[in-house]
Structure 1
Amino acid sequence: MEEVDKILIHALKQIGTDVSEEISSINQFSSELIVKAVVRCIQVINPGLGSPLPSSLPPAMSARFRVGMSLAQACQELGYKGEIGYQTFLYSSELEIRSLLMFLVEKLPRESSEASDQPTGKSVVLQRAIAAAIKAQLSVPWLPMNCRLPLHTETQSAGPLHSFHTLPLSLPYSSTGLGDKYEKEEKEYQRDFLLPVTAQISHQPSMVASILEHHTTVLSAVQQWDNEWNSQGLLSRLTPQEYRARKMARLRKRIKEQLRSNAHPSPEGSFRSSHSSNDLSEVLQMFKSPSSSDHILTKGTHFTHTQKFTFEQEPAAVTSPVPTGRQSDGDVQQRQQAEIESLQQQLQQLCTEIEQLTTDMKHMSVTHTQVLNEIKQKELMNKETEDKIQVKKKTLDFLPDSDNSLQKLQAQVEASAARLVNLASQWEKHRAPLIEEHRRLKEKCSNQELESSRKLSEIKSMQEKIRVATEEARKKEDIHKQLVTQLENLPKDVSRSAYTQRILEIVSNIKKQKEEINKILSDTRELQKEINSLTGKLDRTFAVTDELVFKDAKKDESVRKSYKYLAALHDNCNQLIQTIEETGTILREIRDLEEQIETENSNKTVANLERILEDYKAIRQENSVLAAKIKEG
């Protein structure tokens, strides 16, 4: 048991229990140390169950009994099947405490196969610590503000609450697919001008939400690209760069076509917007200087030149001489008003004429299109008619000498048929190798497609294997980092070889004990066999002797007495054997009783009874003090 106690003490030290170096056995554990060790184990196994438990015994006896009952209940909830109660902690027994600590140490969390499949490292340790803290806080019941203790005030304070609001971020990711120049400029921008993440966000509580949103966006983009590449990119038989370039070229082409279709509307739309374009030219005319007004239209039709000539001549005709001083200002204004009205009438008339001409032009363009279509149809009809006329003319030419013409036609038909037969034979000569070549190429193409599909499936399987191997390598690297961290955190004064040597000694002792047990069992079996054989031999000998003596006893009186002595000897031997067996049974019971006495002595029954009496006196004293306080109140 000494080795078992050392292993238990070492495990308790590893989980943070303050065990003195002088203590080397469970028998040396005090009630305070037992409570500390059990509470610490429960906190490590189930933080939610162990967080409300006190780590030390209170001074009041009633509170101690309550603490013992709560610890016993917690151990039972963890699955302990042995007998346990408050007496286990207050009046401890070495065997009970050893079995309880062995159960709790076996329940401590260890690295299982499921945990090894998950990523490990410092981040995972931090996440586990956060989860344990949150679970411990959630296990504490909620209390109103007026009923909270200082512990509850720390864990249940309202604190600042903020909504989940995200803001755009710019992170220094290395861009791919750009040129060296753009990549260099982007790196310079990220190095010299890009602000840190904490400075890019004006609302500080939104920083975590923004980082999570940006990270989720990047992960979804990477996953979408992987899915597209595995489904379509591999089938295109291009490299990732070529596939991206082709996709970008297609996108640019579609944008150009869309812009081109929007920039060049249909003819109907051009006719509709003619009036608006005239209005636009007039608006531009208003912003031009007078000196450049004559150069707005660099090219015009006969109608525009005529209108320009009219606008240039008519104002010269209607201009009046410079008013003299005899004319009043009112006359000048009336004359100007009359000129403006006449010019407006002329402008309105010209606009009406322009609209009428525009309508006529539209009608003429439609009529022109219809006429062109009719001309094309007429030309086609004329061509067909000319062909028919040529055929009829040639037929009429053959009519005067029909016999010779028929013979000539028959000769031409026969020559054409012979030529067709010759061409067919030549075609067959060329057709057979071409068909063979076509079949060979087709079979080769199908083989290449099968080979490409097989290679494609192999590439996909290799990619899957690479992904799995990468994940396993990453997990093993994380496990290695975690083990290195744990190794660094372990005490340096502990020698691994000492533990290994101790384990080997324990194993060798167990082997020796097994060998001794097997030897004792084999000796016992041999003795039992020998006893059985001797018993059988004795029974058979007695039966034969009894039969012989009984035969002679019928004839001789002295032999009859010998037969009686033989029967008495047999009964005495049976009684002797029975007495020996009962003696062995009594000796075994004596040994069992001695072991029970040793067990009771190890349980410190007398000391526990003395402690119980002292606790009983303390409880009576506390009750008397409380009764006195109640009477005084």
Structure 2
Amino acid sequence: MEEADRILIHSLRQAGTAVPPDVQSLRAFTTELVVEAVVCCLRVINPDVGSGLSPLLPLAMSARFRLAMSLAQACMDLGYPLELGYQNFLYPSEPDLRDLLLFLAERLPTDSSEDADQPAGDSAILLRAIGNQVREQLAVPWVPPLLRTPKLQQLQGSAPQKPLQTSRLVLPELSSRGESREFQGSPLLLPPPAQVPQLAERAASLLECHTVQLCQHAHHDCPGDEDWVHRAARLPGQEDARAQRQRLHKHLAEQLHQTWAHLGPPAPACDLGEQLQAWGAGTRTGARATKGSRFTHSEKFTFQPEPKAQTAQASDVPASQRPQQDMLAAQEQELESLREQLEGVNHNIEEVEADMKTLGLSLVQVETECQQSELSTAEREQTLRLKSRAVELLPDGLANLTKLQVVVESSAQRIIHLAGQWEKHRVPLLAEYRHLRRLQDCRELESSRRLAEIQELHQSVRLAAEEARRKEEVYKQLVSELETLPKDVSRLAYTQRILEIVGNIRKQKEEITKILSDTKDLQKEINSLSGKLDRTFAVTDELVFKDAKKDDAVRKAYKYLAALHENCSQLIQTIEDTGTIMREVRDLEEQIETEMGKKTLSNLEKIQEDYRALRQENAGLLGRVREA
């Protein structure tokens, strides 16, 4: 039993139960350890059920009872066959606890191929933590270093220690005389990529030059901003290059921060199909919103300032720009009129669609009535044809009637002749049909029998495949357990231990067989002696009884013989009662040992302590209720 307890404790440790090393049997399990073991097994067997249970035993007695009842219900839902209650967890006994833990250990899932390949112990926890960190970093989109928040800096790292180096690019200034093309094509000015000697600096230099041009184009109306842009675009001899680049970098960083704050954080990751649907919906919405003339598109993309800004500009616009404002007002009026016309056209289209639907329903109804009238017309034409034929035959009615009777009789004779010929053909055909039907029934029976055999064969193949799969899983589990076992322990010790256990079992079987044979021999001897004794007493009683009638001494001997026989019978009965009492004593001792294993006294003391604690909790709750 101790070996079985050690194997069971090893299974519980693999399930995640923190069993102390000094615990080697289930007799040493405490209530806290029992609850932790059962919860860990439930979490491995059914994570949905086990995740809602706490492996720690609460301090309050009511919470303990609720947790124990939840554990009992979860085990009963798994199919535990015996009766189970809260007392099996709060006041466990060794036999009941062994049955429960064996039931849970048998239902622990076997290691799959993925779990078998993973190492066990602290390394597995480290690998899982690394995997979770990598997945978390992959779920966050990449953000430029200057725009990273503190949380993103923790995930993606801070800005690079070595910033990008850029080189100033010399670009030709366009003029009306066409000198730029000649200067561009001459060997005096190299192409922009060739002006940067380092390959790693080309992208940064091109981006910086492009950003300067965009800033010049965007801030042409702001003198203050244009000033620093032109200063940044001048030659290095006009101003310190380092100060220019610092101001430029500061301005670009502010622009990026403002753009990022306007756009907001990145949208959560979703499915590619959902993104495509959202993009398509936005495109259709935008297309409907921007649908119109070319003037509408040019007006939308050219004049973008807000109404407040437009009113402020209108108040400060000089007289030279008023014709442009008048043109804008005229365009707005034209746009409003076009919108009103578009709404009217849409309303007319809706009305026409409604009329088309109504006319379509009317058309379907008319077509149905037309088909019905065509059918009735065809029937009437057939009736009219018959009546016209009858009217044509009326002038010579008797002759026509005689001809009709002759035709009917000839038709009847022809039908009888055809029936006779059909009967001649029908008999052999019917016999052949019956023969073929019997053959078909035999084939169907044979095919059904073969189909049943094929189904049984498929079932046996499926069972064999499942058995092979199960044995393969067991083999993988055993291989993984073998890999996790320490390599310094030789198999010789385990083999010798197994052989010793087998030898002890064989000796016990031999001793049991010997005791049984001795018991049988002793019983046979007792039976033979009892029969011999009965026969000897009967013969002696008969001989002595014959002589007792004639001699007084023999009569007294006969009385002594009867008393001796009675006393011997009493003595044998006493010995048998003694053996029965000794067997009952041994049974009672075994029951006492079993009850002692259930820890009845300690459980009774725990029940009394829990009862006192529960009464204190109830008293405290009553006091709170009265105060409330």
TM-score range, shorter chain: 0.3 to 0.5
Which TM-score applies when normalising by structure 2?
Answer: 0.41
* Structure number, greater radius of gyration: 1
